[in-house]
Amino acid sequence: MPGFVDEVSQDIVRGWYVAEDQWAPGRGVVISVNGEDRYCDLCQHARRDVLEAGITPRAEVGFLAFLELQVGDLVRVKAGDTGRLLGGGVSVVMPADASDGFLNAQACADLPAFRDIIGPLRASLEILAFRPLFGHRGKLSALCVETPAGKRVVHCQRPRLNAAWLERLHRQVLMPGAIDAPSLEAVIVHGETASLVVEHIDGQVLGSFPETSIEASTNDREQAYRATLASVLRLSTASWPDDMRSKLGFDSFSSETANADMPAVEADGVETTGAGKKADRRGRHALNRMIREVCLSALQRGRWRELGLLLRMTRTLYRLPRVFAHGDLHPHNVLIETRTGRPVFIDWDHAGMLPPGVDLSRLLLSVPPALAESWLGEHRAHRLGWLILTYFAQSQRQPDFHATEAGAYLRRRFRELARRSRAGPAATSPVR
């Protein structure tokens, strides 16, 4: 069940939460500050807006915690019963005049939440102000920094091998393929970690696009999704150099990204044996783990017909040819650029050669299947991969998905497509 944090300030944390058992006593939230649990509050304040929205049959689902917080404190709000983050549940306490979300570096860089992240960057970047960027699971994943040369995004303290692989991905795949991704401008190496400095894109994530209540926004949202789908299909045609998937590789940070007007950046070659192989497998491991979990769930529940269908889907999926894919293309990893409206893909850690439809299924998971399929065009392999992987992803989320109308639709369309045209030749790069 949902919940949301409406306000975080130096004085209060306010929001609402509806527990899975809506009538259970002791429903509440846990508030942590800078990683330390500091407060527990019961959800007992009346929220007529939540009631009128039909989310809950009772109004007493709100919480209002009076706290003494400091500017720069990192606040997380979790459900007391499940430990899950609430929507908007990660916030930084901002000064009253910081409407753009940026903190002054001189005043806030040494605060506990940011000291260890910003400290290693100071020798290479002159940071005037910064804005923390959080992943969709609430982890502090990057910083948007204001420098004398303009804004940049810094993906901080990646393992050195992972950073070397990502630098090579940008240099050998994304740039030559003219793929819509922020350009990599520099790599700052410090010890066993490295930070990637990339172009700042002024835009809005697809998951919240557009942030307006106007009815016309529905058309804008559909256009944004359609433009993103076209980019995904172009992405699948990009070439994947042999040395990106080699078992052993010698990776070094190129001189272009190692210098990049940042003289303090370490630019020596770094031997990273096996870095490409391990990174290339990240997306495949996630895919295989999902398939195993769904099949095991059907087996444990004794749903033999469902298990048979899942195994046929798996066999069909593994026989599809592999294409280059982002690997984790949920709507919060797509930015719609404000000036041009073009979709830009971020966070490439799971990229690799994967079955067609991997990116489409992740991107369209919240879209009704019949509508999503109408957007896909006549790309048979992508449509088939999307059908199969959407069925698996929804089954992982909802154990009874097979009994829903959407589940029945995907099963029927899979059987129709499988009968009409059997899967193509065996994959040249099988999932392992």
Task: Determine the Cα–Cα distance for residues 291 and 329; give it in Å rounded to an integer.
Answer: 18
Residue 410's pLDDT band, with cuts at 50, 70 and 90, is very high
pLDDT band at 136 (very low <50, low <70, confident <90, very high): low
Question: What's the pLDDT tens digit per position in 369-394?
Answer: 999 999 888 888 899 999 999 999 99
* Cα distance between residue 36 and residue 76, in whole Å: 9
Q: What is the mean pLDDT of the chain?
A: 83
- The percent of residues in the chain predicted with pLDDT above 90, rounded, is 41
Residue 76 identity (one-letter amino acid): R
Q: How far is 368 from 222, CA to CA, in rounded Å?
A: 13
The answer to whether residue 22 scores a pLDDT higher than 60 is: no
Q: Is the pLDDT of residue 82 over 90?
A: no
Q: What is the mean pLDDT of residues 87-99?
A: 79
Sort residue 143 into left (φ over 0), alpha (ψ -120 to 50) or beta.
Answer: beta
Per-residue pLDDT tens over the stretch 286-343: 889 999 999 999 999 899 999 999 999 999 999 999 999 999 999 989 999 999 989 9
C-beta of residue 349 within 8 angstroms of C-beta of residue 166: yes
CA dihedral 146, 149, 153, 157 (to 10 degrees): -90
CA distance 263 to 188: 10
Report how far residue 375's alpha carbon sits from residue 230's, in angstroms, rounded to the nearest whole number: 10
Q: How far is 432 from 210, CA to CA, in rounded Å?
A: 39
Kindly state the average pLDDT of the residues 254-274: 45
Average pLDDT over residues 199-222: 72
pLDDT at 257 over 70: no
> Residue 192 has what pLDDT?
87
Q: What is the pTM of this model?
A: 0.78
Q: Residue 109's pLDDT is what?
A: 86
Task: Convert the pLDDT of each residue in 266-285 to its tens digit.
Answer: 434 434 333 444 555 777 88
52, amino acid identity: E
Per-domain residue ranges of the chain: 1-93, 282-420
pLDDT digits (tens, 9 = 90+) for 151-178: 999 998 888 888 999 999 999 999 998 9
| Nearest C-alpha neighbor of 156 from the set 145, 148, 146 | 145
Q: Residue 306: enclosing H or E segment and its boundaries?
A: helix 304-319
C-alpha to C-alpha distances, 193 to 162, 163, 166, 265, 266, nearest whole angstrom: 9, 8, 13, 13, 11
Pick the CATH number of 1-93 from 3.40.50, 1.10.287, 1.10.3470, 2.60.40: 2.60.40
What is the band of 21 on the pLDDT scale with cuts at 50, 70, 90?
Answer: low
pLDDT at 280: 55
